[in-house]
Chains A and B, each alone.
Chain A
Amino acid sequence: MADVIPVGERRQLAPPTDDTGAIGWMRKNLFSSWGNGITTVVLVVVVARLLWWFVDWALLAANFTAESGQACHGSGACWSLIREKYRLIFFGTYPYEEQWRPLLAVLAMIAMLITSSDRRMWNSRLIWIWALGSFVTFLLMFGQINLSSSLIYVLAVVAGGAGALTRRVLGSKAEVYAWRALAAVGLLAVVLRMLGTLPAWTLAIAPFTFVETARWGGLPVTIILATYGLVFAFPYGVLLALGRRSRLPLIKGLCVGFIELIRGVPLISLLIMASVMLPLFLPSGTTIDKFLRALVAVILFAGAYIAEIIRGGLQSLPKGQFEAADAMGLNYVQKTALVILPQALRVVIPPLINTFIGFFKDTSLVLIIGIFDFLNSANQALVDPNWAGYPAEIYLFAAFVYFIFCFSMSRYAKYLEVELNKGTRR
């Protein structure tokens, strides 16, 4: 009876040693039985052989300096092709001397995306970051931006209205009055312009030569299509998802009809419709930029998919969350924006990012209507007869660039999941 330890005062024992440490881990996970041991050894050998073969082809035996395809000797990869053609691959048919502009535009977009991926930036600053980033990007790509006076007035109304609405509760009185004043001045200007009292003028910002969208190509096209396609598709998909759950039969029916219609056709057919059929319905003489039409098609298509994902998130919330928000007296917009969406979106981050990654790659389908995105510019590099016979190098390179973007998105999704669920887990 001497060794009895009172309950609650037991000694904490260390775990058995053969389960911990590198050796313990290997014994447990790699060599737990004869079968497992053999599988481990065989797999290691196979992977090592494959890796060695690839490293030999891609690095050790590769040619980095040849002047033409014929000069590419040896059994290795012909990376000289990439060295020769990288500007065509990255920037397509954009005027050669001006290609520093799409390069800077890509960097501006990436900087904008990285900045706005930081959670501390998720406030009104985001609007300024995107306004500035977008302006810089399109100024570089186009070279010139002409803002008509009417557009500026309308922008003032929209900005003032949005500011007054969103800051109504949180902003100071002076700030809200400033937003209202902006909207009022804009509205007055719009009316005066329509009456003809104010003359028409155009604000021309033209530091560079103009480059039309038909000559854009390569990586900037892919990034612009994917980024703005998804940025506009996202709020639109949220509205569709909310509409689909609406109690009003007309709104619900419209949203269901739209989602099912868009999901029922391939993106290619939507792109062709946007480029071939849409102009038929427009009065002759009016043209909508081909690039813009492709962007609209991507937005419509992505919106329908995003809507279905978000609907899944909305349905996963317990009914009590809706009831609690109702019982507190929150109205529909407050309930949705403050209680429901923040939770629903958290749940659907993995499938949402999955869709984003899919659409980033799907933008290459715009080839069908004659727009040269990154993959299609890379394809162009194969046409040169001097460099015939090295498709693997081109496609591997293109795949590598796509992989960098998609893998970053995937890692970011992981970070976001952890970050947003901080504290909510026990």
Chain B
Amino acid sequence: MANNSVIQLKAVNKWYGQFHVLTDINLDVREGEKIVICGPSGSGKSTLIRCINRLEEHQQGDIVVHGVTLSNDVKNIEAIRREVGMVFQSFNLFPHLTILDNLTLAPIWVKKMPKQEAEEIAMGLLKRVRIPEQAQKYPGQLSGGQQQRVAIARALCMRPKIMLFDEPTSALDPEMVKEVLDVMIELAKEGMTMLCVTHEMGFARAVADRVIFMDRGEIVEQNQPDEFFAHPKNERTKTFLGQILHHG
């Protein structure tokens, strides 16, 4: 695997009003690397990955994605968003469009791809997430797990180089978590660069190259999954793991 870094965060700081939500975040993501970010609620993990595609604006430090430094330049932001796909906790499919139209919207309008080509790619991706038969339905007619798989396919339709997952399984019924994780594991095995905020520790063990633990806006600890789970070093990490592993 190549060793060049695709995302670099250097001393990133962010505040919500007076609240210091991200404190001196330094992070290097190599091409093809899979990173799982966990931590208690309100620790800033979602904010962190949302800064990478500028859904949130950081106030200090530098974020470099594929050699492009994030700034207020709209063209700059749109260029990065074309390279970075995102999957949300609440799916955020467009309810007024069919599944197929949800997938082809961005390729057609952002990449100016001919409609037919976009639809071929979309159908291929729907096959990959195992729901090609739902192409003509609307999001409201699908189950949560199916919707999230469509959301993943929609992000992949732009052929992104990096995928961000913001708690992709947290809003799902337990029996649907697996179908989404299976798709994500498959994607990881194909070599996609992935940053994933999740509490699915099984997923972290299976695919992560690195697990990052965040608390109160800081990166407290990071390590390879085996080490991370077997020998957590920081007290806060131990407490957190104790809580989620016993109850999960």
Contact = CB atoms under 8 A, between A and B. Distances in A.
Interface stretch (B107-115, B124-132, B213-221, B235-243): B107-115
Given A326-B81, A330-B109, A343 B95 contact: yes
Given A318-B90, A323-B92, A329-B82, A334 B110 contact: yes
Given A169-B108, A326-B55, A339 B94 contact: yes
Nearest to B108: A169
Given A329-B78, A331-B78, A338-B105, A323 B88 contact: yes
Given A328-B81, A330-B110, A334-B110, A423 B141 contact: yes
A91 B115 CA distance: 51
Contacts of B55: 323, 326-327
23 contacts: A169-B108, A318-B92, A320-B92, A323-B88, A324-B93, A324-B94, A327-B81, A327-B84, A328-B81, A328-B105, A328-B106, A329-B81, A330-B105, A331-B78, A339-B94, A343-B96, A346-B96, A420-B96, A423-B137, A424-B96, A424-B138, A424-B140, A426-B140
Nearest to A325: B94
A320 B88 contact: yes
B13 interface: no
A329 B110 contact: yes
B86 to A, nearest CB: 4
Interface in B114-150: 115, 137-141
Contacts of A320: 88, 90-92
Contacts of B74: 331
Given A328-B155, A423-B140, 13 more contacts: A320-B88, A321-B92, A324-B92, A328-B81, A328-B105, A328-B158, A329-B81, A334-B109, A343-B96, A423-B98, A423-B141, A424-B139, A425-B140
4 pairs of A and B residues whose beta carbons are closest in the complex: A324-B92, A329-B81, A320-B92, A328-B106
Interface in A368-426: 420, 423-426
Nearest to B90: A320
What's the dominant secondary structure at chain A's contact region? helix
A420 B110 CA distance: 26
A271 B91 CA distance: 49
Nearest to B55: A323
A426 B141 CA distance: 5
Report the contact-size class of chain B (Cβ under 8 Å from the partner).
20 to 34
Contacts of A324: 86, 88, 92-94
A389 to B, nearest CB: 56
Contacts of A321: 92, 94
Nearest to A326: B55
A338 to B, nearest CB: 6
Contacts of A342: 96
Given A424-B138, A425-B140, A329 B96 contact: no
A326 B110 CA distance: 11
A321 B151 CA distance: 12
A320 B92 CA distance: 6
Contacts of A327: 53, 55, 81, 84-86, 155
Contacts of B84: 327
Contacts of A328: 81, 105-106, 110, 154-155, 158
A424 B88 contact: no
Nearest to A331: B78
A321 B96 CA distance: 11
B111 to A, nearest CB: 9
Nearest to B74: A331
A339 B109 CA distance: 12
A247 to B, nearest CB: 12
B88 A329 contact: no
Contacts of B98: 423
Contacts of A343: 94-96
Interface in A306-339: 318, 320-321, 323-331, 334, 338-339
Interface in B188-219: none
Interface in B32-62: 53, 55
Contacts of B82: 329
A30 to B, nearest CB: 37
Contacts of A426: 140-141
Contacts of B158: 328-329
Nearest to A337: B109
A420 B138 CA distance: 12
A329 B84 CA distance: 9
Interface string A160-178: 0000000001100000000
A170 B115 CA distance: 8
Nearest to B137: A423
A320 B84 CA distance: 17
A343 B84 CA distance: 25
Nearest to A320: B92
A169 to B, nearest CB: 6
Interface string A263-297: 00000000000000000000000000000000000
A375 to B, nearest CB: 39
A121 B95 CA distance: 22
Contacts of B115: 170
A67 B199 CA distance: 88
B96 A169 contact: no
Contacts of B139: 424
A328 B105 CA distance: 9
Nearest to A332: B74
Nearest to A340: B94
A329 B92 contact: no
